[in-house]
């Protein structure tokens, strides 16, 4: 075997080894980037889920208040009780969710680490008759409808959830 051929083969092995090392480095770096992105997605999902759970708890507290309060306060725009806007505004867009005079804060347990206190408001929608009877002497069964709107923020201020339900009483 010739000496020149022997040295050329050693150089080719080095170049091929360097190419493989470069390819493995690129694969490793792209794997790290994907892992970082998945970690951010999982954190955002947890943040949104915490906000949703807190908004759901506040919504249920508002419904419980409607269920268990015998005489409701007047719906004059204070302490989270509102009449239905006549100009078509969406109350949940214009209310100051951070003001305890404008909304009712959630008082239940379990959401102390959130970035803001969850809150809810109750709107008096209208009186409705659930009786279709026009028979003389049969009283109309009047019920009132209320819209409960709750708002919560997650562990960061970027995750916000607003939930609504209509409650018949």
Per DSSP, the three-state class of 149 is strand
β-pair partners for 150 = 120, 163
Chain center to CA of 114: 12
Rg (CA), the chain: 31
Residue-level length of the chain: 169
The answer to whether 144 and 124 are in contact (CB under 8 A) is yes
pLDDT of residue 13: 81
Mean pLDDT of 30-44: 88
pLDDT in tens, 10-28: 677 888 889 999 999 999 8
pLDDT in tens, 148-168: 999 999 999 899 999 999 999
Per DSSP, the three-state class of 24 is helix
């Amino acid at each position: 075997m010739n000496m020149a051929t022997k040295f050329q083969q050693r150089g080719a092995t080095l170049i091929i080894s360097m190419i493989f090392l470069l390819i493995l480095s690129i694969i490793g770096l792209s794997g790290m980037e994907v892992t970082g992105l998945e970690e951010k997605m999982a954190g955002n999902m947890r943040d949104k889920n915490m906000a949703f759970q807190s908004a759901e708890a506040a919504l249920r507290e508002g419904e419980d208040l409607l269920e268990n309060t015998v005489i409701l306060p007047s719906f004059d725009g204070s302490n989270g009780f509102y009449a239905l806007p006549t100009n078509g505004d969406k109350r949940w867009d214009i209310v100051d969710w951070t003001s305890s005079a404008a909304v009712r804060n959630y008082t239940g347990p379990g959401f102390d680490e959130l970035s803001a206190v969850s809150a809810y408001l109750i709107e008096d929608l209208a009186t409705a008759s659930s009786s279709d009877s026009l028979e003389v002497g049969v009283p109309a069964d009047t019920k009132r409808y209320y819209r409960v709107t709750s708002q919560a923020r997650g562990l960061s201020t970027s995750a916000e959830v607003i939930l609504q339900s209509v409650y018949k009483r």
